Amino acid sequence: MTSIHFPDGFLWGTATAAYQIEGAWDEDGKGESIWDRLCHTPGMIADGSTGDVACDHYHRWPEDVASMAAMGVKAYRFSIAWPRIFPTGGVQVEPRGVDFYRRLIAALREQDIQPVVTLYHWDLPQALQDRGGWINRDTALRFAEYADFAFRTFGNDVPLWVTHNEPLIAAFFGYGNGTNAPGLRRSRDVLTVGHHLLLSHGLAVQAFRAARLRSATPGAPDPRIGIVLMIWPHHPASRHPRDVAAAQRSDGAMNRLFLEPLFHGRYPDDMLRHFRRRLMVPRVAPGDMEIIAAPIDFLGVNTYTRLIQRADPRDLFVGARQVDPRGPTTAMGWEIYPSCIYEALMKARAYTDLPLYITESGAAFEERIDPDGGIADADRIAYLRDHIAQCRRAIQDGVDLRGYFVWSLLDNFEWNHGFSQRFGLIFTDYGTLKRTWKRSAYWYRDVIAENGV
Ligand code: IFM
């Protein structure tokens, strides 16, 4: 295989999210989140597990930071648990939660690892859910206050800020089909939830601009702000016009419904018409779209596979059903389709020429520790290699791609799949919480050192 090199300064990173790794769910004054509540509700998580302990990163973070330093990663994307800082969503600050993130950020900077901080990776304070959660417009205002606090507290030490991770999942899976927290099936409110998430993003961007952050590192660029969207390509199962239209609708719901408001200040007309027939109408107040479309500095793209869609009127939301993958899959059942990276980046570029980052890319496979103590995850190495090659292809075709973040640093709590899906470069033994580098971690260390594959 020929070698592939990346532009100088390309940001090689790893990614995690608070609920998936931290544990310590009720320690040091942390408030309950909607994921705590969902996981404590019997029957909601495939293997009956919870994130109560998860990877115990809350206590073992020095070891995890040391691991990243040894791997040579340039950036670490993690999220702040909102209820760790504001146990009930606002007003009362919990200083022990603030200290935890302050120490983590300082340790990363000491190792020359850039912190990339996501403000919302789905763990809403339960106290806000009790007042309607994201159906209630007030939650967007509370989010802006929390964001403002985070900017003013940690801002100068964080070069890249992300308002939301995959608002699509928070809206459709949290409030639509109920598989994710808060586990509601309120299809008529889903678009309003999505709208309030986007509105809260725009309000946070306003707070960010008002905070006028300056880099703590002399000569380094000042902190920047963006959002992370899930952008997966949607392909029709056949050339039949019904399937083509089905793929357009699912692309509309998953991708365009978020890209268009952020970059064009409006929702896609075809999707508004489609959803109106299903009595799904977002509650938009005058001025909201301008707030949502406020200029940002970069866009993060999470992409893992493609979806092949067939028309199916029984589907509640888009009238489309995913057909079986057309090739080998990961343990999640997701087709291994490296071109998803290229197609997702091209899709993003059709909306913006802002710098882009692949903020998540990775795969779960079934694996265990070999008798010799190693974990020979050749399938993950092949996956990452082929997906990274697609990043290079996009750069060659003019995409301003600035970085690539492997999901995930370590095996962790995969939401409603519990601990059954291992995405990590590092193996987590959930009994002892011992971490063991998989072969892919060593491989990634070499990729970073050589700035290429
Ligand atoms: O684990 C998730 C992450 O929290 C959001 N993006 C997709 C990952 C894999 O499913």
* Residue 2 clears pLDDT 90, i.e. is over it: no
Protein residue whose Cα sits closest to atom 4 of ligand 1: 17
Look over the chain and give the mean of its residue pLDDT values, rounded to a whole number: 97
CA 122 to ligand 1 centroid distance, Å: 11
* 0.95 exceeded by pTM: yes
Q: Which atom of ligand 1 is nearest to the CA of 165?
A: 5
Secondary structure element (H or E) that encloses residue 175, with its range: helix 167-175
Secondary structure element (H or E) that encloses residue 195, with its range: helix 190-211
> How does DSSP classify residue 134?
G
- Rounded Cα distance between 165 and 121, Å, is 5
Q: Identify the CA nearest to 408 among candidates 77, 179, 162, 79.
A: 77
pLDDT tens per residue across span 147-206: 999 999 999 999 999 999 999 999 999 999 999 999 999 999 999 999 999 999 999 999
Quote the pLDDT of residue 32.
98
CA 39 to chain centre: 19
Please state the rounded mean pLDDT for residues 214-242: 96
Percent share of the chain, pLDDT over 90? 98
Tell me the C-alpha to C-alpha distance, in Å, between residue 268 and each of 97, 134, 234, 354: 40, 21, 17, 21
Our separate counts of H helices and E strands in the chain read 16, 13
Please state the rounded mean pLDDT for residues 63-87: 99
pLDDT tens per residue across span 375-402: 999 999 999 999 999 999 999 999 999 9
* Residue 98 clears pLDDT 90, i.e. is over it: yes
Secondary structure element (H or E) that encloses residue 119, with its range: strand 114-120
pLDDT tens per residue across span 241-274: 999 999 999 999 999 999 999 999 999 999 999 9
Q: In what order do the strands lie in the sheet with 307-311?
A: 234-236, 307-311, 320-322
- Rounded Cα distance between 194 and 176, Å, is 11
Quote the pLDDT of residue 12.
98
Quote the pLDDT of residue 1.
52
CATH number of 11-239+251-300+332-450: 3.20.20.80
Quote the pLDDT of residue 7.
97
**HSE value, Cβ hemisphere, 13 Å, CA-based, for 428:** 26
Q: Predicted confidence band at 441 (pLDDT cuts at 50, 70, 90)? A: very high
Quote the pLDDT of residue 3.
85
Strands 160-165 and 224-230, by their bridges, are: parallel
* Catalytic option among 343, 360, 367, 414: 360
- Amino acid in the structure at residue 309: Q
List the structure tokens of 416: 């409603």
Protein residue whose Cα sits closest to atom 9 of ligand 1: 414
- Rounded Cα distance between 350 and 396, Å, is 16
Q: In the block, which residue shows the tokens 């882009």?
A: 356
List the structure tokens of 402: 């600035």
Domain ranges for the chain: 11-239+251-300+332-450
